[in-house]
Structure 1
Amino acid sequence: MGSGQVTDWQGKNVTVAGLGVSGIPAAKVLHGLGAQVTVVNDGDDARARAQATELEAIGVTVRLGDGATLPEGTELIVTAPGWKPDKPLFAAAHEAGVPVWGDVELAWRLRGPDAAPWLAVTGTNGKTTTVQMLASILKAAGLRTAAVGNIGVSLLDAVLGEEQYDVLAVELSSYQLHWAPSLRAHSAAVLNIAPDHLDWHGSMEAYAKDKGRIYEGNRVACVYNVADKATEDLVREADVEEGCRAIGFTLGTPGPSQLGVVEGILVDRAFVEDRQKNAQELAEVADVDPPAPHNIANALAAAALARAYGVPPKAVRDGLRAFTPDAHRIAHVADVDGVAYVDDSKATNTHAAEASLAAYESIVWIAGGLAKGAVFEELVTKSAKRLRAAVLIGADRALIREALARHAPEVPVVDLDRTDTGAMLAAVQEAKGLAQPGDTVLLAPACASMDMFANYNQRGDAFAEAVRELGAGA
């Protein structure tokens, strides 16, 4: 397939794998460019049928309940990012020499000659917050930008829409990167790498390799986490453009070519004259909301990418001050009887929960849900000294209970043998009985929510509602 000008697509046979948030826009865009589009989908439920009817009305062919067979004459597959690489459809494509792109690859190929450069972010945790901080900083510098990709505006809309952008802040998941071989960012960051989605990638090595694709062909800066050697290793392995620099971020004092923290100030020793001797003040730790350690790391990564793009120091400070975190990300719900109640329902894996637990001194921890194959030994070992008590809910709570018994036997544990939605109120009431003034009751489940709730938002809302009931009765 060529560069993606309209003439390339006329009459091309393209198969779109998967209905859904990326599949439907991709099918419509390709159809609009003149391609012959067939959508294949594993599911055949009422929702899929309604979506199929909508697409068929504009002339797209849809095959429901058969996502395994390669349609006759297919010249390209555009896949939803969630489809696993070991699907039979992709084996058939490989056999037939048919390329497979994701929606990100499609968007990249459809960019015009004067398209806005991409500042890209990936990592196991913190991606969305970092990209939103980055967009806020770029806006504070007077640039036309948007947070796109895995969040916000769809990349296809950003690339093909009416709106003109100077630069895009792009969040990319490991899935999206796997299917985006020709993506070349202006600058990119890998925030951290911890075991996640291993059921999809097959191994930690394959997961890290897909994350590392974000650095391929970077022009200005590869931003890595000094505290996470795996991210620096990925920079070393990347094939970048001549003159592209490795830029580290650290919660400690930065060395040359790094951003870091000195006495409560975020400083830049990378994008300054004579970086051996000089440092540029960017913002105060107090400008970061909330100022938890992992969130300061997010702010430094966002600042590094913005500075790589040439943004002045004042815009970093103004952008961080203007940024408001999303709901359910270490959100302070209320103080009741001298105890703080904090909702970090977004902590759906052990790495995110560890960062959350590190932000408080004395914690009554509410945890549990669907483990997705995770183990909790390291999380409990690292956090044990901060735990006043733990209240466990959800389908896989026994895994956390066993880790606590082994590595923090002195921590009292309440095991609520419940997976109904009402369990959250009971958990908060138990936590109230265990907490002392000055403590934090922290919902940081370290697990997915789908055993009990529709999603982590609903789980966080249930926690906040339970806390409000406590407050009302206080």
Structure 2
Amino acid sequence: MGSRKVTSSAPVDWQGKHVTVAGLGVSGIPAAKVLHARGANVTVVNDGDDARAREQAAELEALGITVRLGDGATLPEGTELVVTAPGWKPDKPLFAAAREAGLEIWGDVELAWRLRGPDAAPWLAITGTNGKTTTTQMLASILKAAGLRTAAVGNIGVSLLDAVLGDEQYDVLAVELSSYQLHWAPSLRAHSAAVLNLAPDHLDWHGSMEAYAADKGRIYEGNRVACVYNVADKATEDLVREADVEEGCRAVGFTLGTPGPSQLGVVEGILVDRAFVEDRHKNAQELAEISDVNPPAPHNIANALAAAALARAFGVPARAVRDGLRDFTPDAHRIAHVADVDAVAYVDDSKATNTHAAEASLAAYESIVWIAGGLAKGATFDELVAKSAKRLRGVVLIGQDRALIREALARHAPEVPVVDLDRTDTGAMLAAVQEASRLAVAGDTVLLAPACASMDMFANYNKRGDAFAEAVRELGS
């Protein structure tokens, strides 16, 4: 971890500046409006030209913003800056042309960072392959419990532009950032930041695991107080070592084991801090009990420790950590207990859309009937099955790529009974729950943790989780 004094980015004179905004949608439209209001000459380019895009274009054109639909590849003449929606891949021809012209390319996060006022609230930033949203919400809950004006923003669904430019005055922001957003945010400098974990994901967008990790690691650049990493995931610590930070910034680890100095961890069911205390080599501060974490699954305790570390880096007292964790309610479809039927627990973790998330979910229970399958997105399942085999009472497979999981089960858990439902219709979930109930015995957990995306059968993971919950209710009726 290198140290250097980081200076702020110079303000931009937007008057008359020719800016191309790449992409309509949740980030492109607000960016175009904000820049136009500041006097920039804005042109929006968009690949699609459907009814929804035309409706959005008409809204912008009524303000005097130029929109080009069906042509997201060509750089408009005279462009001085490109502002892109985060999901646009770096290899698009538009960006190649911009780089050839020596232009900067910003994402919505970079734009929000540059538009902050001189007294803007500092950012506590969070990224990782899994757990980002839960940890960001936990952090916001802790900050609120400390009496601070805050909000959970960024990739979580609340626009950073709205948070930075709105009338609400904040003391600090809890900011969730995706790898896409970080790729396009070169000058972001957080107060403190955390990388929760790293596992292969979005490699088609980034091109390689190394590029994906490097984009995640951008979150540490220029940190002022703490770079928070996962002791159990060496790749996150490696990113801290490679980061250039402000003088005096510290590396702070979190662990489910007993913490060492400059770490937060767990001792006899208590979350403790050995990083933000006097004489951390001898002292520890109790923060909360495991029972204060909802739900108290291992990966969620890790989320709580990461949130606590960032809050403590901002000076939050221990009592607020406990109170904030107690006040926190997780979003739906994140290891959510649906019901108990005949002494079997039914748990919805439809949000477990990749193998890393599913592994964490499976690790939370001792005896499981696992409902899995969907769109694999290029994933392999051998490591997941091998690590989880001893916990599996049975498996019910659904979805387009279920054969990949079935083959991994045959290799690593051949004794586990498997029901392969050759269906991808939405009604398959009811059949899956019924089959799982037949495999389960009292004390088991029927766990929907698909390890796959949902779009082969459902509009999104929320709809998949809703279908599971409805099937469980029908089972118990």
TM-score norm. by structure 1 comes to 0.98
The answer to whether the aligner puts 1:113 opposite 2:124 as a matched pair is: no
* Alignment deviations for residues 104-140 of structure 1 (CA, whole Å, 9 cap, x no partner): 0000000000100000000000000000000000000
Counterpart-to-counterpart distance in 1, 2:425 and 2:370: 19
SS of the aligned residue for 2:337 comes to strand
What do residues 388-444 of structure 1 show as CA deviations (whole Å, max 9, x unaligned)? 111000111111111111111111111101110000001000001110010000000
Question: Could you give the per-residue CA deviations for residues 145-173 of structure 1, whole angstroms, max 9, x where no partner exists?
Answer: 00000014210000000000000000000
Whether the 8 Å CA contact 2:141–2:327 is kept in 1: the answer is: yes
CA distance in 1, matches of 2:292, 2:302: 13
Within the alignment, does 1:334 sit opposite 2:312 as a pair?
Answer: no
Q: C-alpha offsets along residues 184-239 of structure 1, whole Å, 9 cap, x if unaligned?
A: 00000000000000010000000000000000000000000000000000000000
SS in 2 for 1:230: helix
Cα deviation per residue 1:424-466 (whole Å; 9 max; x = unaligned)? 0010000011100100000000000011101000000000000
Corresponding residue SS for 1:84: coil
Task: Please tell me whether the aligned partners of residues 146 and 317 of structure 2 are also in contact (alpha carbons under 8 angstroms).
Answer: yes
> Aligned in 2, Cα 1:124/1:2: closer, same or farther, shift over 3 Å?
closer
The percent identity for this pair of structures is 91
- Structure 2 CA distance for aligned equivalents of residues 126 and 266 of structure 1: 18
What SS does the aligned partner of 1:6 have? coil
CA distance in 2, matches of 1:412, 1:208: 37
Contact 1:4 1:110 in 2 (8 A): no
2:438 and 2:411 map into 1 onto residues whose CA distance is 24
Alignment match, 1:310: 315
Counterpart Cα distance in 1 of 2:70 and 2:3: 32
- The reply on whether 1:397 has 2:407 as its aligned counterpart is no
Deviation at 1:248, TM superposition (A): 0.2
Distance 1:5 1:236 in 2: 17
Q: Distance in 2 between matches of 1:185 and 1:4?
A: 14
Contact 2:350 2:462 (C-alpha < 8 Å) held by counterparts? yes
Query: What secondary structure is seen at the aligned counterpart in 2 of 1:341?
Result: strand
Contact (CA 8 Å) 1:4, 1:109: kept in 2 or not? no
Q: C-alpha separation between the residues in 2 aligned to 1:263 and 1:178?
A: 40
Change (3 A) 1:354 1:167: same
User: What SS does the corresponding residue of 2:434 show, helix, strand or coil?
Assistant: helix
**Residue 267 of structure 2 aligns with which residue?**
262
Q: Closer, same or farther in 2 for the Cα pair 1:456/1:4, shift >3 Å?
A: farther
Q: Hey, what's the Cα distance between the residues in 1 that align with 2:3 and 2:107? A: 15
CA offsets 1:253-301 (integer angstroms, 9 cap, x no match): 0000000000000000000000010000000000000000000000000
Output the CA distance in 2 between the equivalents of 1:355 and 1:265.
21
Maintained 8 Å contact 2:371/2:396: yes
Residues 137/182 of structure 1: CA separation in 2 closer, same or farther (3 Å cut): same
8 Å Cα contact 1:6-1:34 kept in structure 2: no
Residue 109 of structure 2, aligned match among 104, 107, 113: 104
Deviation sequence 1:22-46 (CA, Å, 0-9, x none): 0111011111111111110111111
Contact 2:86/2:180 (<8 A) preserved: yes
Distance 2:25 2:343 in 1: 45
1-structure distance, mates of 2:323, 2:273:
16
CA distance in 2, matches of 1:3, 1:40: 40
> Structure 1 pair 4/206, CA: closer, same or farther in 2 (3 Å)?
closer
Residues 146/389 of structure 1: CA separation in 2 closer, same or farther (3 Å cut): same
- Please give the per-residue CA displacement for 1:37-70, whole angstroms capped at 9, x wherever unaligned: 1110111111111111111111111111110000
Q: Is the 8 A contact 1:16 1:78 kept in 2?
A: yes
Distance 1:221 1:383, change over 3 A: same
Native 8 Å contact 2:5 2:246 kept in 1: no
Shift of the 4–311 alpha-carbon distance from structure 1 to 2, 3 Å rule, reads closer
- The answer on whether the counterparts of 2:4 and 2:244 sit within 8 Å (CA) in structure 1 is no
Structure 2 distance, partners of 1:2, 1:165, is 30
2:398, 2:2 → 1: CA distance? Answer: 52
Structure 1 runs of 4+ off > 3 angstroms? 1-7
Structure 1 residue 4: Cα displacement: 24
CA distance in 2, matches of 1:388, 1:276: 44
Q: TM-score, normalised by structure 2?
A: 0.97
Contact 2:2 2:243 in 1 (8 A): no
In structure 1, C-alpha distance between the alignment counterparts of 2:47 and 2:382, rounded to whole Å:
36
The Cα RMSD (Å) is: 3.0
Q: Distance in 2 between matches of 1:60 and 1:370?
A: 39
Partner of 2:433: 428
Q: Distance in 2 between matches of 1:47 and 1:4?
A: 47
Q: Residue 379 of structure 2 corresponds to which residue in structure 1? A: 374
Q: Using the alignment, how far apart are the partners of 2:177 and 2:450 within structure 1?
A: 24
Change in CA separation of 1:208 and 1:11 when aligned onto 2, cut-off 3 Å: same
Do the aligned residues in 2 keep the contact of 1:258 with 1:269 (CA within 8 Å)? yes
Q: Given that residues 6 and 33 in structure 1 are in contact (C-alpha distance below 8 angstroms), is that contact kept between their aligned partners in structure 2? A: no
C-alpha displacement of 1:2: 26
Residue 98 of structure 1 deviates from its aligned partner by: 1.1
Give the Å deviation of 1:3.
Answer: 23
Summarize deviations over 1:347-380 as a string: whole Å, max 9, x none. 0000000000000000000000111111111000
* Cα distance change of structure 1 residues 28 and 6 upon mapping to structure 2, 3 Å threshold: farther
Which segments of 5 or more consecutive residues in structure 2 lack a partner in the other structure? 8-12
Q: Could you tell me whether the CA contact under 8 Å between 1:118 and 1:167 is conserved in 2? A: yes
- In 2, Cα distance between equivalents of 1:394 and 1:63: 38
Q: Contact (CA 8 Å) 2:85, 2:108: kept in 1 or not?
A: yes
Per-residue CA deviations over 1:302-353 (Å, capped at 9, x if unaligned) read 0000000000000000000000000000000000001000000000000000
The answer to whether the Cα contact below 8 Å between 1:223 and 1:248 also exists between their aligned partners in 2 is yes
3-state DSSP of counterpart to 1:9: coil
Q: Is the 8 A contact 1:5 1:110 kept in 2?
A: no
Q: Tell me whether 1:2 sits opposite 2:7 in the alignment.
A: no
Deviation at 1:6, TM superposition (A): 24
Q: Report the 3-state secondary structure (helix = DSSP H, G, I; strand = E; otherwise coil) of the residue aligned with 2:76.
A: coil
Give yes or no for contact 2:2–2:245 (8 Å, CA) kept in 1: no
8 Å CA contact 2:155–2:177 kept in 1: the answer is: yes
Q: Distance in 1 between matches of 2:2 and 2:237?
A: 33
**Distance across 1 between alignment mates of 2:461 and 2:204:** 20
Q: Distance in 1 between matches of 2:268 and 2:436?
A: 35
Do 1:394 and 1:451's aligned partners in 2 also have CA atoms closer than 8 Å?
Answer: yes
For residues 2 and 75 of structure 2, what CA distance do their matches in structure 1 show?
Answer: 22
Q: Aligned equivalents of 2:5 and 2:286: distance in 1? A: 45
Query: How far apart in 1 are the matches of 2:105 and 2:64?
Result: 22
